[in-house]
Structure formats: structure tokens, C-alpha cells
Amino acid sequence: MTAVLKHELKNYFHSLTAYVFGAGLLLAVGLGALRYNLQAAVSNFEFALSYFSIVLAVIVPILTMRVIAEERKQRTDQLLYALPITTTQVIVGKYLALLTVYLIPLCVIAVYPLIFSRFGDVYLLTSYGSILAFFLMGAALIALGVFISSLTDNQGFAAGIGIAVILLNYYSVSLSEYVSSTVFGSVAALCVLVLALGAVIKYLTKNENLAYAVCFVLIAAIAIAAFMDNTKFEGLLPAVMTKLSLFDRFTGFVNGVFDLTSVVYYASVAVFFLFLSVQSLEKRRYN
């Protein structure tokens, strides 16, 4: 795993990827600090992170698009299978390299509150709590990007899908106000999600029977639950869209609330997509 980590870091810093990512992140946070802290003379540095957090929707897919897609395109992924390490160690090594690239500009950003505190009252606990939450949110998004990259050998396609998915997550709270809150709308949306899950299972396992069985069991459970008490499905879809938003949970940290459940959620999302990435590589190995 250490060899994979060193190899990935060498590739990132011998190309423009790490520098473009770091410059984009520093530019966004710098503009946020200019907008909120300097021009408005506000000491809340965490607002700068919140204001330009949408930049992650662009720079994270750029960072992760090549991590596995390039291996598949050049057929060098077959060499990974010959290494005396497991697929999990390969994914974890690549993921840790991405986190290192992400952490370097954050270390620079961590100096900003100390600089601003020399010229005004800065809430350091809130500022550094927000920086920690920003790192965790980015770590979850990077894991999502790794999974998307594992599904294709086209870097541009991986980046495009990653941007679309992250933007959808960013605007999910706003979009939840326009989706149906009726029982039928919630049930229909859940059925669509189940079918999407079945498609992912089929792709990863190449087992149609397993995918169909999972879809049948879940749809049957939804139908039974709706028949027994359909009031539980009223407003369920907007609530789910709000709960799944990574960016909405970050707002709590910006407001000075260190939410441990959000920390667990970020970690769970990262582990979940890394697990799917491992399964995607395993499927290709056996094929």
C-alpha cells in the first residue's frame, strides 16, 4: 500500500493535477476571505469556506478523474492485480494519496484564521471546526470521485459525471422544495432508487439474479410499508434529499455547531464509496 501511495503522489506532483487542484482551492477560499473578511470587515472566517464550497464540485472530479480510469485505459490496471497486495490496499493507497494532495492546500488555509486574529476577534474554535468539517466533506466527495473513476476508462466522462453528481448533491436542498411530497411521489422515487441500486449490483457482480432479487425484496418491502401506513411516506422524498446533502451538513459547522452525527455521516459516505470502488476493481479482475 505504501508503494502505491508513493507512486500516486509522484504522479500527481510530476503533473499539473496537484497544482491545479491546490490553486483552485486556494483561489476560491481566498476570494471568499476577500468577500467576507476583508471587504465586509467580518471576523467569521468559516463563511469564506461556506461561500465557495461549490468549487469542490469542479476541482474534486478533476483530481479524481484519472485515479483508476487512466489505469483502465492504459491497461496498467492488470499490473495492479499482479502486485502482492489486495485490491483494498490498492484503493486505500490511491485514496490516501488523494487526501494528501487535498490536505496540503488546507494546511495553508489553516493559517488564515491566525492571520485574521491579529486584526480582529476571530472565533478560532468555529473556524478550525469548519476547516475540519471541510476536510471531511472533501474526503467523502473524493471517495465518490474514486468510485466514479473506477466505472469507466474515459477521464472526461468520469469528470463530467462527478461534477453532475456533486452539483446535484449541492443543490439537493433547494431542489427538495420543488419535488413531490405526496405518498405516491415518495414511493415512486424510492422505487427508482431501488432500480438504480439493482443496476449497480448487476454491474459490480454480473449476477442478474442477485440484482433482481434485491430489487424485488426492496420494492415489496416499500409496497407493504405504504399499504400498512402510507402517512409515513408523506414528505419523505424532500426529507431524504435534505438528509443526504453533504453541503447542508457543513452549514451546521459554519454556524458554530460541531455535529458529531455529520462527522460519522461523512466517514460513512467515504467508506461506502471506497467499498464500491474495491468491488468494481474485483469485478474487473475476475472478468
Q: How many Cβ atoms sit within 10 Å of the Cβ of residue 2?
A: 10
In this prediction, residue 101 carries a pLDDT of 92
Q: Where are the domains of the chain?
A: 2-173+246-286, 182-234
Cell of 176: 427538495
In this prediction, residue 180 carries a pLDDT of 64
What gap in Å lies between CA 13 and CA 5, rounded to an integer? Answer: 12
What gap in Å lies between CA 50 and CA 251, rounded to an integer? Answer: 7
Q: Is the confidence at residue 211, as pLDDT, over 70?
A: yes
Task: Report residue 287's pLDDT band, with 50, 70 and 90 as the boundaries.
Answer: low
Q: How many Cβ atoms sit within 10 Å of the Cβ of residue 94?
A: 25
In this prediction, residue 183 carries a pLDDT of 76
3-state DSSP helix/strand/coil % of the chain, to nearest 5: 80, 0, 20
- What is the average pLDDT score of the chain? 82
pLDDT per residue over 117-168, tens digit each? 877 777 888 888 889 999 999 999 999 999 988 888 888 888 888 899 898 8
pLDDT per residue over 158-180, tens digit each? 888 889 989 888 888 787 777 66
In this prediction, residue 5 carries a pLDDT of 83
